[in-house]
């Protein structure tokens, strides 16, 4: 009974601590608006942002833009994650593949995804393919790098056991490599998901006819700073939910893996 009470107390305390930072930010935002530190054309009050959000939701516009962005994220991230995972495993297991692809991989991954947007627009235009490719590129490199480092960190004894049992490459990956690299690979997935979401919103700001980024751009063009701030808040909330959700999944999978 005492243990359950202690767990409940710690849970409530953690939730209270989690709420402190957003409340402080909201308070500072409200104070800055009432103090008139910035003109209304630059900084609008939380109340106006809330009202604009309700207006956009009731009209269905916010839901439509959010659905578009999340569908692009899901498709692009899935492609980039799968290719990155396979590429990282291939480089980690084969010195020949690493020697052949490693220099180009390490050079290209240093270039921000945003820098590729003009070239990608020329190649794919501004249709859906462009946004999906941008997200896939943003997801590919962090996951490939995390997988490569994780595979290289697998103890040599594991490979010796695989040779003794004469496991095929597919069996080696499925039975040894993937289970042994769960924690670092999941961390790479989580980091990559956050970056992919940020890059997608930025791409929609530059070239799109729908999505949260495009909603923010239209708000800017119409001098609706409240609409822009709605997009900023939604972007932050979605990113937070994605990160917390993946952290929870990561914790459960790692706990399941532990003896």
CB of 215 closer than 8 Å to CB of 67: no
| End-to-end Cα distance, the chain | 27
Q: H-type helices in 94-181, by residue range?
A: 95-108, 117-124, 128-152, 156-164, 169-172, 178-180
- pLDDT, tens digit, 9 for 90 and up, residues 206-238: 887 888 999 999 998 888 889 999 999 999 999
pTM exceeds cut of 0.75: yes
pLDDT at 118 over 80: yes
Residue pair 147/188 in contact (Cβ under 8 Å)? The answer is yes
Superfamily of domain 46-257: MetI-like (1.10.3720.10)
Helix (H) or strand (E) holding 226, with range, is helix 225-257
pLDDT given at position 161: 75
pLDDT at 67 over 70: yes
In this predicted structure, the answer to whether residue 256 has a pLDDT above a threshold of 60 is: no
Assess contact for 246 and 190: CB atoms under 8 A. yes
Spatial distance between the Cα atoms of 190 and 186, rounded to a whole number of angstroms: 6
Kindly calculate the radius of gyration of the chain based on its CA atoms and give it in whole angstroms: 23
Compute the Cα dihedral for 130, 219, 139, 76 and give only its sign. Answer: negative
Express each pLDDT in 127-156 by its tens digit. Answer: 888 899 999 999 999 999 998 888 888 778
The tokens describing 193, both together, are: 């998901």
pLDDT above 90: residue 97: no
Domain locations along the chain: 46-257
């Amino acid at each position: 009974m005492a243990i359950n009470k202690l767990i409940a107390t710690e849970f409530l305390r953690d939730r209270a601590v989690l709420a402190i930072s957003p409340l402080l930010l909201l308070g500072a935002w409200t104070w800055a608006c009432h103090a008139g530190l910035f003109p209304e054309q630059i900084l609008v009050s939380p109340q106006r942002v809330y009202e604009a959000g309700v207006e956009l939701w009731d009209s269905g516009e916010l839901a439509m833009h959010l659905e578009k962005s999340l569908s692009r994220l899901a498709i692009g991230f899935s492609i980039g994650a799968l290719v990155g995972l396979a590429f990282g495993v291939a480089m980690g297991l084969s010195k020949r593949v690493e020697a052949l692809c490693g220099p180009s991989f390490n050079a290209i991954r240093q270039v921000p995804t945003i820098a590729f947007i003009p070239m990608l627009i020329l190649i794919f235009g501004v249709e859906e393919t462009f946004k999906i490719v941008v997200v896939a590129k943003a997801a590919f490199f962090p996951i490939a790098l995390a997988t490569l480092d994780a595979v290289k960190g697998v103890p040599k004894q594991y490979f010796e056991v695989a040779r003794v049992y004469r496991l095929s490459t597919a069996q080696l990956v499925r039975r040894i490599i993937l289970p042994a690299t769960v924690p670092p690979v999941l961390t790479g997935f989580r980091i990559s998901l956050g970056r992919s979401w940020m890059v997608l919103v930025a791409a929609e700001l530059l070239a799109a006819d729908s999505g949260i980024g495009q909603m923010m751009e239209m708000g800017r063009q119409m001098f609706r700073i409240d609409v822009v701030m709605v997009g900023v808040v939604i972007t932050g909330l979605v990113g937070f939910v994605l990160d917390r959700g993946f952290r929870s999944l990561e914790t459960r999978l790692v706990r399941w893996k532990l003896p």
